[in-house]
Structure 1
């Protein structure tokens, strides 16, 4: 009788560093490598357990005294746009979507740099150069797409973005699409492009027959993350399972040294895929 042995990746913890979401706090991540023939299965399995991908690494927050960061996803079948989200779709109706294999360009990097300088100048990516940006986009062992949004087929001469208005690096999972990283032109802040990209990914998932759109982390108390809680059908991963997101004020970002289980217990509860077909 044939038996399939489980995949046994090694898990590690990063050194503490300043939290990008809540001022004055330190963050720590639990992570593992994403590589080899089992990468696709591992990414699918751990994404369902609150992990996120960054290049060839899967990670999940594991801070010593804080459990504010909550992985979020949208149930496509239960989503219906609000009045304000319908206005966002209308404001951006002229954008044209195009999808391709993950390949970095100088125009994307120009847009990425202006986005960072405008919104995340003090973040961990602030010093990323073109080669590091290309690695972020291109180094992936799984099924990934680069989704670009342009304002028409032509652009003004000298436009450093070459007509680009927004970009999303998106993984295709077995149960949804995962928005790994998105950025857009800061000049169109009033267009709510961050919200629009999520709305469009809901349509992409619906077209593909996939039930979820994975949004990354929602953090109560972080203004940067507040917009994610405004989508109908949002779930969060908490206490080892997915549950409906209720009112944002029901969740606390307070520090509590008992809110995080020991690393060994966290790892022991992770469900791994088997190596079979």
Structure 2
């Protein structure tokens, strides 16, 4: 790993827990091997593009990395329904890319989440998107979901020796009732299965934040504890 810069932001109002303040440590890298990033994830870090980060909040430790043991995963009844509802869609794998259709879908999704869930303004231009998802020091995969020639969802994932790590996903907000978001999340696990990876990583989980608590619906799952050990969340 070759580090270009380290910095800390905050404390500032937390995006996920309104009564808390967030402080993040960031590391900007010029080089990062898949093995190094996997170790950083196991140490509690995540990243967008070349920027690694993890919370170092003074009064809160609610952000906990969550992972799925792929060989043990069994879809729930609602997840099986999501698979059935979207069985006619085509799933494609490629390198991450950016063009107007993807950027428009990303921004429509964020506008919907801003209106429905109070998310902060998240509109991106081509440069923002490329920095977060394309300027990647480790191998990455874009999973795209299509209905004919219409793009319905995108899942962006990093690949390390033992993991497929879900970086971000977004989908057509007009597809309410189709469980397209759940279907998209399941594609991260499906890719891990295809690649023979033992783990699918889903980023940070917060039990009391609806925007992140849903990740524990994919079971069994494990969360990282303060001592660095992973503990099964549901038996």
Match of 2:37 in 1: 43
Match of 2:9 among 14, 18, 43: 14
TM-score by length of 2: 0.90
2:160 and 2:40 map into 1 onto residues whose CA distance is: 11
The correspondence for 2:211, drawn from 224, 231, 246, is 224
1:32 aligns with 2:21: no
| Pairing 1:113-124 to 2, within 5 Å after superposition | 113-120=107-114, 123-124=119-120
Structure 1 residues 29 and 105: CA distance shift in structure 2, 3 A: same
What SS does structure 1 have at the residue aligned with 2:57?
coil
SS of the equivalent of 2:189 reads helix
Residue of structure 2 in register with 1:264 after alignment:
none
CA deviation after TM superposition for structure 1 residue 100, in Å: 1.4
Whole-Å Cα distance in 2 between the matches of residues 76 and 120 of structure 1? Answer: 32
1:275 corresponds to: none
Query: Could you list the runs of 5+ residues in structure 2 that have no partner in the other structure?
Result: none
Call closer, same or farther: CA 1:226–1:191 in 2, change over 3 Å.
farther
Deviation at 1:39, TM superposition (A): 3.6
Q: Conserved in 2, the CA contact under 8 Å of 1:235 and 1:243? A: yes
Shift of 1:192: 2.0
Partner of 2:137: 141
Residue-by-residue CA offset, 1:32-56 (whole Å, 9 max, x unaligned): 22322x4433212101222111110
- Cα deviations across residues 136-181 of structure 1 (Å, max 9, x unaligned)? 22211110112111012x3xxxxxxxx1100011101111101111
Which has the larger share of strand?
Answer: 2
Larger Rg: 1
CA distance in 1, matches of 2:17, 2:181: 20
Across the two proteins, how many residue pairs are aligned to each other?
231
Give CA deviations for 1:113-152 in whole Å, capped at 9, x if unaligned: 0000001365455242232123222211110112111012
Alignment RMSD: 1.9
- For structure 1, list consecutive stretches of 5 or more residues without a partner in the other structure: 1-6, 155-162, 248-277
